[in-house]
Amino acid sequence: MNTLILLSAVAAGQPPAPPAPQVPPAAPAAFHAPAPAAAKGDVKAGPPLVHVFDLFHNGTGTVTITKIESGCGCLRQTLGAQVLQPGQQTKLELEVNTLTQPDGPNRWQVTVGYKLEAPGARPQTGELLLQVTATLSRDIQVNPPQVGFSTAGEASQVLVVSDRRPKPLTVTRAASSSQHLTVEVGAVANAAGQPRTQSVTVKLAAAAPAGHRDEVVVLYTDDQECPELRVPVRVLKRAAGGVTVTPEAVTLRLAAGQTEGSALVQLRSSDGKAVSIAGAESDLPGVTVKCSTGSGPVATVRITVPEAVTAQPGRCTVRVRLSEPGGEVAIPVAWTSAKK
């Protein structure tokens, strides 16, 4: 008992601990974005998602923006001034094509590279990471949300625009970024209990030059909230006598309980000569690609979308490099989310 009283007295007699020292916040870098992350919350997919970042130069010397890199082809970038003097600022506008993005939480980011040159000092380089997040859901849908052509001749694909809102939009006209891509707007279809749909046919002309190009089809609508829908189009036009791909595009629809999707693609030479694969890879990490070895009349590519990737619907492009007869083949791949 006496021991407890003594300890209490000693504790009571101790002075309070001094407050922890206050660490002032670090000063922002000379070139910086005051708000490098933008959380957009719940967003309806269809119309583009736009955000503008402010970029400031509060130091000395000259800042030159040298690059803007993103990991998603769904982003369009518009930069104001590229060269900034002390005290100046510029704006970077990011536009996300939400049509091609899956429902649920999404994150898009860009890296802004810059060089700082000040009198009497060695040039310095740096990077800013900017990020936009949003949770997408959709009433308006374009299926497929992007188009891939891999052909030696003419080809066509049909897009279906659907809108489940009480007052659905109508596609009134369309345009493309290439004279070799034509777009035909079809009639509206109404089915009881179903969203209203409208078909749009995209055609690649036989006269399109050989090679790989990224184009876009723009669908103009009568809806002020969603005046246009932008559909990316990836074209790989092969020279006559090249390789035919079966199927030209892969779509994996996972059944209940299925967590992994796989498909086999065959490549044949249109003139009967041997086909040999030098290598292949996907532009989306996690999707695996295995190729047949050797040279023969038919080469194969096995594309597998594992469970870690099928948690959400998505798409990618598999590029196959050919040692015989040479060139490259692009295979569009899409999948639904795994069903529990």
Kindly state the average pLDDT of the residues 184-192: 91
CATH architecture classification, 31-138? Sandwich (2.60)
Q: What are phi and psi of 105, to 5 degrees?
A: -65, 135
Kindly state the average pLDDT of the residues 161-165: 93
Could you give the strand order of the β-sheet that contains 275-282, starting from the edge strand earlier in sequence?
250-252, 328-335, 314-324, 275-282, 295-296
Structural domain spans, the chain: 31-138, 139-240, 241-340
Residue 253 pLDDT grade (very low, low, confident, very high; cuts 50, 70, 90): confident
Kindly state the average pLDDT of the residues 58-72: 91
Tens digit of each residue's pLDDT (9 = 90 or more) over 212-243: 888 999 999 999 989 999 999 989 887 766 78
Residue 39 pLDDT grade (very low, low, confident, very high; cuts 50, 70, 90): very high
For residues 24 and 259, the model is more confident at 259
Q: Domain 139-240 adopts which CATH fold?
A: Immunoglobulin-like (2.60.40)
Q: Is it true that 31-138 and 241-340 share their CATH fold?
A: yes
Are 314 and 286 in contact, with CB atoms under 8 Å apart? no
Could you give the strand order of the β-sheet that contains 298-305, starting from the edge strand earlier in sequence?
243-246, 261-269, 298-305, 288-291
- Cα(139)–Cα(111) distance, rounded to whole angstroms? 31
Answer yes or no: CATH 3.30.1240.10 is held by domain 241-340.
no
Q: Report pTM.
A: 0.64
